[in-house]
Structure 1
Amino acid sequence: MRDGYQLNAAHGRPLFQAGGGDLRGREPIADETDVDWALFFGAAAQAAEPLDATLPAATFRLPPPAVDAPPVSLAERNIRRGADFGVCCGQTAAVALKARYPHIADPMTPTELGIGAEILGIDPSLATQTPLWFYILREAEVRHPGGTQLGEVGGLIVAETILGALHVGGVDVTPALGAAPDDTIPAAPSPATVSSMTGLLRLLGEI
């Protein structure tokens, strides 16, 4: 994610901001928040920041939720929630996934993870028991330079989550497994051919 986004030709909004006026919503739509969808979909869309272990500044000053008073840093919240829910470390997830999918790469090494000496001085075990969220971001950064896609651990977790939800919902995904993606964009989209947000906005004449 970015620290903020341009909403239209004249106005932008920060991701989070004390006192409101940010992208959390719950405010009446005004001229400055009228979205030009061409800035979010299509050729002129604002690109997301690369997938890597560097978090945008806005995530270190999160607004307080409706209840409780957790840390204002997203990184600290992730670490605490992972511990509270017993989420396994990245290396454990990588080993389990490799046992299921032998063709994927070996788990990342401490050198690849690149955790700083200052952090390891607090807890040396983080080099071999790395929080899953950090492992996934660092994997994308190191093993897919450019940060355009998740690595194998992150990608498989997302894929299995989606496939699991479809399976529980009674959708048979077996025929589609291994099929080539359909990247065809209809020249004149109709409601029957819309299969993406970009296609919907093109149909509505917004982009």
Structure 2
Amino acid sequence: MPTVTWARLDGNRRAAVVAAAEAEFAAQGFSRGSLNVIARRAGVAKGSLFQYFADKRDLYAFISDVASQRVRAYMEEQIRELDSSRPFFEFLTDLLDAWVGYFAEHPRERSLHAAASFEVDTDARVSVRAVIHRHYLEVLRPLVHDARGRGDLRGDADTETLLSLLLMILPHLALAPYVRGLDPVLGLDELTPEQPALAVRRYVAVLAAAFQPAHVHPDQPAQPRR
């Protein structure tokens, strides 16, 4: 976590350090990211970074948290607009569409997400994923809890497994349409404008088959929004 010195720092200087660190970690990841480059771009001495953060991994976790908060704020706005009180799997389809769209329009967040997913340093990867997963679960858990309360999920549904699957699907959908080689199975290696939306619907169909009550029979799979 940032130090007291960071909290006392001028807002413009904090913004410069965050922007420089986001650019470097998005481009190079944690292992190859250079504190020298970050300091130079931010216009501070390298030693000053160690007055603001305990070490490089602490800075990396903080930057991941800042980026995650931006993504979370957008998704929480989408949750309100899409009306999460609708049937859960119908709502989830639209929410995943919005998720894919966000990363299509925000390449820096996508790069930071890729850096966190593909980081080779285990300790750095674990610390950053812990930050990201905390945001995911604080948003997703209430949605799943409410869906179960409404009867949108089977009474015996293992909601922790559903959450675990969503923790795998969300990062995949953030990257697979834009990183060749991640998903040749659902056609995301030969990307067309419709392919991510079709992949979303295939994922949701599998989740619905596993977790939706037996008496619920959707008429037709939801179509990609135009």
TM-score range, shorter chain: under 0.3
TM-score normalised to structure 1 length: 0.27
| Greater helix fraction, Structure 1 or Structure 2 | 2
